Structure 1
Amino acid sequence: MTVDKVRAIFERAGCTGTLLVQPLHGEGEFGLDPDQLVVPASVVKVLVALAAETWFAEGRLDPRERVVLGAAERTPGTVGVSLFEDEVALSLRDMVVLMLTVSDNPCTDALMNRLGVDTLNATAARLGLRNTVVRSDLRTLLDSIGQDLGRAGWADLVDWSARASAAESAGADEKLPRVRALTPGAGTGTTARDMVRLLRLLWSGQAGPAAACARVRAVMGRQLTRHRIASGFRTPVRVAAKSGGLAGIVRNEVGVVSYPDGRQYAAAVFTRSRPGADDAAINAAIGAATAHAVASLHRETA
């Protein structure tokens, strides 16, 4: 009945969800369809950060190298450098900070293009993330949404949406859930189990060089988003996490919940909204479902 309670939390919020929570130390897990393929959205940036920090630690990239992000070609997004009107010069290591704390898309694509998609998939394979595949950078992903909706790309879709009639907008909204980027297995994909494995390897220092793992953990602890997993917990419990969302349909978060007594839990939550669902309700459901899973595991080990 406990899993049914979590399923009901998502149902009341207007979404479906998959979830896995495991203690970092010890056995046991709480899962709701944890092996189901899902769309990770910006959760994939944890893997990008690990690959970048590994290259820094191994001397394959200079973390202090400054890169200019031009205004014309930068990847769209709702936060960070995407909103700037002028070119920006940043070091590679500072791009990791913006990518994980505010989910900056231009910084992510700059890092992905330096590393290469093959490197990201090789990292996933090395770590045993058997169902995690990165198909493209974020610009290509966003452009594919526009193309699947009959436009030239993402920018053309945005321009068209501003002048589309109500009927045309409704037609696009009906097609949106079926585009490649939002179809598990067609675009970049993962599972809750893979992401919990990634978190456990990061927190144990086994995902790569010790300095790389420590850096990813530290920057995840400074993520600004606090209304998903963190909303289910109160101080002095700490949450280090990375959220993700796409097209108002996918809302996700992965993270580690740490208690003052040393208990720690790795959590991965992926949701998919139904038409008319409320964003705030789904965000709260992610926190409530994680808190319920953690409490259940704590009762089992107490």
Structure 2
Amino acid sequence: MIERRLRQVFSEAGCEGSVAALGVDSENRVMFGDAEPMVAASTFKIVVALELFCQGAEGMLDPTERVLLSPARATPGGQGFCIFEDVAEVSLRDAARMMLTISDNTATDLLIRRVSLSRVHDRLGRLGLDRIRLAGTIQQEFDAVGRDTGHAGWADMARAMSESVSPADADRIWERALTSPSLRPGRITSATAGQMAALLQLIWLDRAGPAAACRAVRTLLGQQRLTRKIATGFGGEVRVAAKSGTLPGCASNDVGGRGVPGRLPVRRGGVHPAGRTGPENPAARLRPRCGGPTGGRTPSPAAPVPLKAGLTSSPAGRPGGAAAARACRPRRHHR
């Protein structure tokens, strides 16, 4: 029955999707296409934060270490450090805060370089989460898309769009970007709904790494500014700790946890419907601003909603009732 309903929801939204819901402290589960690889968008930043705080707890680095962020090395993204005009100094843990609360791409790439992809994947492998794969830094992924459009990289593509003779010419370039082979799961950073739910479950159970590291990740997830996704499925009395991710035309994701202060944990994961895609919301119009693929603008509610996950936690942020993940993608084919 639930599978039929989920299939209907995705169909009505114009998406192909998957769902995974796992009980944190029970055997309850709901699975629907949970092993299907999907574009992770910025939800993968949870993994980077986990590795940072694990390395800090294990004595491999100091999360209070100060680093400099230069505008010359900024990664496009629409907000955060990429719009700074001057060099900024920040600690590694506050860079992680920027990464998870406003999805800062410059902070993310800084941290990826600091903790290293190989260590990220080693930890994921030990946790049994080998279907969550990071393709590289965000800048490397952007440049791959830019090259697929026939340009030297992302900056060259963005320049060509801004210098286009007509909006239609710029739209054609952006449409080529959205159908780039580099946006296919496996070539861009990707994950499965099942393993994203499992990751959240491990973080909430303090089993993804040292307890202090898991707690730090949960804390930052609770500070995310964007609350219009998973949080909209619950009343104001429910606390939500989540990480969203958006790639116009490909993914608009959310993974996270929820809990009700002062009450027993709810033992069900929540999923709410994906938005529609169609002629009223042509993906080609979501062009870059600040050079990033999100265009620096809020995605339309009509955008597709792929990977979504939710966890239930107790009032103290400790393990609660359920972990759930959802993923969907628009019905389109890459060229």
Kindly provide the CA deviation profile for residues 133-181 of structure 1, in whole angstroms up to 9, marking residues without a partner as x.
1120111011111111111111111111123234433433443343243
Range that drifts further, 243-252 or 212-221:
243-252
Which residue pairs with 1:294 in the alignment? none
Say if 1:196 and 1:267, in contact at 8 Å, map to a contact too: no
Q: What TM-score do the two structures reach when normalised by structure 2?
A: 0.79
- Give the paired residue count: 291
Structure 1 contact 69–89 (Cα < 8 Å) conserved: yes
Q: Aligned in 2, Cα 1:270/1:150: closer, same or farther, shift over 3 Å?
A: farther
Distance in 2 between residues matched to 1:10 and 1:120, nearest whole Å:
32
The TM-score with structure 1 as length reference comes to 0.87
Per-residue CA distance 1:256-300 (angstroms, 9 max, x = gap): 22233223556799979745465314578988x979xxxxx9xxx
Hey, what's the Cα distance between the residues in 2 that align with 1:13 and 1:159?
34
Aligned to 1:261: 264
Measured against aligned partners, the alpha-carbon deviations of 1:23-54 in whole angstroms (never above 9, x if no partner) come to 21211222331110111111110000000001
Q: Structure 2: which amino acid aligns with 1:154?
A: W
In structure 2, the partner of 1:236 is: 237
Structure 2's unaligned 5+ residue stretches are 282-299, 312-321, 323-335
- C-alpha distance 212-286 of structure 1, shift in aligned 2 (>3 A): closer
CA shift, 1:188, in A, is: 1.7
Structure with greater helix percent: 1
- The question of whether the paired residues in 1 share the 8 Å contact of 2:147 and 2:154 is answered with yes
SS of the aligned residue for 2:258 comes to strand
Contact persistence 2:230–2:254 (CA under 8 A): yes
Aligned CA distance change for structure 1 residues 135 and 61 (closer, same or farther; 3 Å): same
| Structure 2 CA distance for partners of 1:177 and 1:268, relative to 1, 3 Å | farther
Identity %: 36
Q: How does 1:214-225 map to 2 (within 5 A)?
A: 214-225=215-226
Any stretches of 5+ residues in structure 1 without a counterpart? 292-296, 298-302
Superimposed CA distance per residue, residues 204-245 of structure 1 (whole angstroms, 9 cap, x where no aligned partner): 001001100000011101111111111111121221111111
The answer (yes or no) to whether the contact 1:63–1:93 under 8 Å persists in 2 is yes
CA distance in 2, matches of 1:113, 1:251: 25
Query: Which whole-Å CA distance do the structure 1 matches of 2:306 and 2:40 have between them?
Result: 17
**Mapping of residues 19-168 of structure 1, within 5 Å:** 19-164=19-164, 165-168=166-169
Counterpart AA for 1:251: S
Equivalent residue runs for 1:277-296 within 5 Å:
278=281, 279-282=300-303
RMSD of aligned residue pairs (Cα, Å): 2.8
Partner of 2:199: 198
